A = this chain, B = another copy of it.
Amino acid sequence: MAEKHIGKQTVALKNPPTIKATASIVGPKEGRGELKQCFDLIIPDELWGESSWEKAESKLVREAFAKLLQNAKLSNDKIDFILAGDLLNQCIAASYGLRETNVPFLGLYGACSTMAESMSIGSMLIDGGFADNVVCLTSSHFCSAERQFRFPLELGSQRTPTAQWTVTGSGAVALASQGTGPYIRNITVGKINDLGITDINNMGAAMAPAAADTILTHFADTGLVPEYYDLIVTGDLGKIGKKLCLDILRMNGLNIEANYNDCGVMIFNLNEQDTHAGGSGCGCSAAVFAGHIYKEMMKGNLKRVLFIATGALMSPVSLQQKESIPGIAHAVSIHRSLD
């Protein structure tokens, strides 16, 4: 077993990297949601002065990166790696949004699990002595995602009750080898899980088994109990997936209900904002982590958080070819202090 492995698939960082700063930018609908106070910037409309939604998403990435450097008081030449990805075909939001940064770039694709994936790899690169400063960043955009994955918005298609609403937003995290926390301590990289869900309008159901698998593995590997964390938060199962995740965990003897929530449930006001099952998209967990969770940790309201971003690894083509939807989830444990 590798030196820093504990249990089956969890690693424990010897010199836990610190989160030096975060940045978050969201769209107007997210800016009217439950977490509206916590974001760095709420853009006035979905185009944000650009000629397409895809270009607007790249701008979200570009500006989130710029805001992050400002918040972290870092210049781009101090960043060793950017780890970023998004949902658009060929991850163009990240590559176009970051092409002027002049920073070594490692592109990721983990669907909506990308924020936890980037923080996982970023933390290992710092703990391994390969980097002092790493930027982890993801984005999503409601309009570009609808166009690519579902229907053109112009059709005005009706959404099913199980559908989630892709968050317009970008979240960025600056990880550093030196600092005063919060610290990344343990990482559980997930496996692909596919239980045969084929409904593109029920991503929560497709991702819940992966989330539950990673959570069960995390607790088995670390020997911790759910109460150890102030918050266990999945990264966008929405309200249907959240319930399924709890059910699967309960069937496996783990009850996390007391301190469990989901970024897709938290970001909108589900009763009033007509987002059906809740938020989704890479930008959802990224903005909720960067905007809300990090700030609550800095205020001392959360001391230990287990952050599990979840992704559905399908494409419109795979669904047209009658494939089911594989899910994945990666968990990162974040501690306000190293006590």
* Oligomer: number of copies: 2
Task: Pick from A40-48, A154-162, A188-196, A285-293 the stretch touching chain B.
Answer: A188-196
Contacts of A219 in B (CB 8 A): none
Inter-chain contact B9/A194, CB cutoff 8 Å: no
Q: Tell me the residues in window 294-339 of chain A with beta carbons closer than 8 Å to chain B beta carbons.
A: 313-318, 321, 323, 326, 328
- 12 pairs of residues in contact across A and B, judged by CB atoms under 8 Å: A1-B132, A9-B104, A85-B109, A87-B90, A90-B111, A92-B315, A105-B190, A106-B117, A107-B313, A121-B121, A124-B125, A127-B128
Interface residue? A272 (CB, 8 A): no
Stretch at the interface among A20-28, A31-39, A51-59, A229-237: A51-59
Q: A317 near B89 (CB under 8 angstroms)?
A: yes
B121–A110 touching, CB < 8 Å: no
Residues of B within 8 A of A106 (CB): 108, 110, 117, 120-121, 189
Residues of B within 8 A of A193 (CB): 99
Distance in angstroms from A241 CB to nearest chain B CB is: 18
Measured between C-beta atoms, what is the minimum distance from A90 to chain B in Å?
4
Among candidates B52, B131, B189, B192, residue contacting A2 with C-beta atoms closer than 8 Å: B131
Within 8 A of B (CB), among A120-172: 120-121, 124-132, 148
Q: How many residues of A contact B (CB 8 A)?
A: 66
Contacting A124 at CB < 8 Å: which of B124, B316, B317? B124
10 more contacts with CB within 8 A, not counting A91-B109, A105-B190, A124-B128, are A4-B128, A9-B80, A51-B321, A87-B90, A99-B326, A101-B191, A104-B191, A106-B108, A121-B121, A128-B129
Residue from A120, A192, A194, A313 whose CB has the most chain B CB atoms within 10 Å:
A192
> Which chain B residues lie closer than 8 Å to A124 at the CB level?
124-125, 128, 130
Residues of B within 8 A of A120 (CB): 106
Question: Is there contact, CB below 8 Å, between B88 and A317?
Answer: yes
Known pairs A1-B132, A105-B189, A321-B52; A90 contacts B89 (CB<8 A): yes
| A108 / chain B contacts, CB cutoff of 8 Å | 106-109
Chain B residue nearest to A321 in the complex (CB) = B52
Alpha-carbon gap, A2 to B122, bound state (A) = 13
Question: Quick check: is A222 within 8 A (CB to CB) of the other chain?
Answer: no
Chain B residues with CB under 8 Å of A11's CB are 130
Contact check, A104 vs B317: say whether CB atoms are below 8 A apart: no
Does A96 sit within 8 A of B, measured CB to CB? Answer: yes
Contact B109 A314 (CB under 8 A): no
Per-residue CB proximity of A91-102 to B under 8 Å, as 1/0? 110011011011
**A65 proximal to B (CB < 8 A):** no
Chain B residues closer than 8 Å to A132, beta-carbon distance: 1-2
Within 8 A of B (CB), among A211-226: none
How far is A96 from B95 in the complex, measured between Cα atoms in Å? 24
CB nearest to A217 among chain B residues: B104
